[in-house]
C-alpha cells in the first residue's frame, strides 16, 4: 500500500513540476473541451477500460480452468473406481466405498466451503486413508500388484487435482485491481464536472446512463471474483456425474 501511495504521489509531482516549468510557454487552457481535458479524458477512459477488462478476464479464465480441473479430479476418481475391480474382493469394496464417500462429501459438504475460498481438511484425510488402505493390500500375485499400483496412481492424480482445486478456490484478482476499477469508474463519471463543464437538461441523461452502467459493471467485477461463488461459479456437476458412474460400474462389475 505504501508503494502504491508513493507511485501516485510521484505521478502527481511530475504533473505539478511540469505545470511550473512550462507555465510561461504556450497559452492557457481553461476550455472544458481543450487539449488538456481531452487528453486526460481519453487516458482516464483507457485506464478504466484496461482495469475493467482485466477484472473481468481474470475471473473468467480462472473459472474455465477450475471447471477443467474438477473434470480431471472426477475422472481420476472414476478411473480409480474402475481399477479397484482387480483388487481382492474385500479390499475392492472398501476402496470403492471410500471413493464414493469422498466424492459425496465433496458435493454435499465441501462445495459450500469453496465459496469462502477454502476446502474441508477432512477431504484430504479421506484421500490419505484411501492411499494407506490400498498400499496395505497384500499382493499375492503379480496381477494384484499391478492393479494396486494403478489404483495408487489414480489416487495420486486425484490428490493432485484436489490440490489444484484448493488453489482455484483461493484464487482472486489482486485486491488493488477492484479498487482501481471503482476509482477510475467514479473519475470517468465525474470528469466533465471536474473539467469545468456544467451539463443541464438532456445533457445530464447520458451521464446518468454512463454512471448506471459503470456501477453495474463494477458490481459485476466484484460479484465474480471467486471461482466457486457468484454468476460464474463452477458447480459440482462433474462429481455428481462421477457418483452416477460409480453406480453404473458397480452394477456391472
Please check whether residue 188 is in contact with residue 62, taking contact to mean a CB–CB distance below 8 angstroms. Answer: no
Q: Is 245's pLDDT higher than 90?
A: yes
Cell of 253: 462389475
Q: Is 128's pLDDT higher than 80?
A: yes
- Residue bearing the bigger pLDDT, 39 or 229: 229
Please check whether residue 224 is in contact with residue 202, taking contact to mean a CB–CB distance below 8 angstroms. Answer: no
Confidence of residue 78 (pLDDT cuts 50, 70, 90): very high
Distance CA 146, CA 149 (A): 5
The phi and psi torsions of 2 (rounded to 5 degrees) equal: -65, -40
Query: What mean pLDDT do residues 1-18 have?
Result: 55
Query: What mean pLDDT do residues 119-124 have?
Result: 89
Confidence of residue 159 (pLDDT cuts 50, 70, 90): very high
The DSSP result for 148-169, as a single string, is: HHHHHHHHHHHHHHHHHHHHHH
The mean pLDDT of the chain is 81
Distance CA 249, CA 205 (A): 63
Per-residue pLDDT, 25:
54
The DSSP result for 52-72, as a single string, is: HHHHHHHHHHHHHHHHHHHHH
Q: Is 192's pLDDT higher than 80?
A: no
Q: Residue 162 to residues 17, 104, 109, 110: CA-CA distances in angstroms?
A: 54, 14, 15, 11
Amino acid at each position: 500500500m505504501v508503494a502504491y501511495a508513493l507511485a501516485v504521489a510521484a505521478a502527481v509531482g511530475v504533473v505539478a513540476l511540469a505545470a511550473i516549468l512550462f507555465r510561461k510557454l504556450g497559452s492557457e487552457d481553461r476550455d472544458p473541451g481543450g487539449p488538456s481535458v481531452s487528453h486526460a479524458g481519453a487516458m482516464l477512459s483507457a485506464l478504466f477500460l484496461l482495469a475493467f477488462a482485466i477484472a473481468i478476464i481474470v475471473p473468467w479464465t480462472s473459472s474455465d480452468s477450475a471447471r477443467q480441473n474438477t473434470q480431471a479430479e472426477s475422472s481420476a476418481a472414476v478411473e480409480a473406481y474402475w481399477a479397484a475391480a482387480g483388487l481382492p474382493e474385500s479390499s475392492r469394496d472398501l476402496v470403492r466405498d471410500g471413493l464414493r464417500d469422498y466424492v459425496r462429501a465433496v458435493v454435499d459438504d465441501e462445495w459450500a466451503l469453496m465459496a469462502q475460498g477454502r476446502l474441508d481438511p477432512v477431504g484430504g484425510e479421506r484421500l490419505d486413508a484411501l492411499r494407506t488402505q490400498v498400499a496395505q493390500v497384500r499382493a499375492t500375485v503379480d496381477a494384484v500388484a499391478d492393479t494396486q499400483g494403478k489404483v495408487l496412481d489414480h489416487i495420486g492424480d486425484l490428490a493432485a487435482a484436489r490440490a489444484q482445486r484448493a488453489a482455484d478456490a483461493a484464487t482472486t484478482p489482486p485486491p488493488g485491481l477492484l479498487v482501481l476499477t471503482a476509482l477510475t469508474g467514479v473519475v470517468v463519471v465525474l470528469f466533465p464536472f471536474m473539467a469545468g463543464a456544467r451539463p443541464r437538461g438532456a445533457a445530464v441523461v447520458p451521464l446518468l446512463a454512463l454512471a448506471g452502467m459503470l456501477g453495474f459493471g463494477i458490481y459485476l467485477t466484484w460479484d465474480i471474483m471467486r471461482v466457486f461463488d457468484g454468476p460464474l461459479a463452477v458447480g459440482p456437476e462433474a462429481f455428481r456425474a462421477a457418483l452416477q458412474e460409480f453406480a453404473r460400474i458397480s452394477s456391472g462389475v
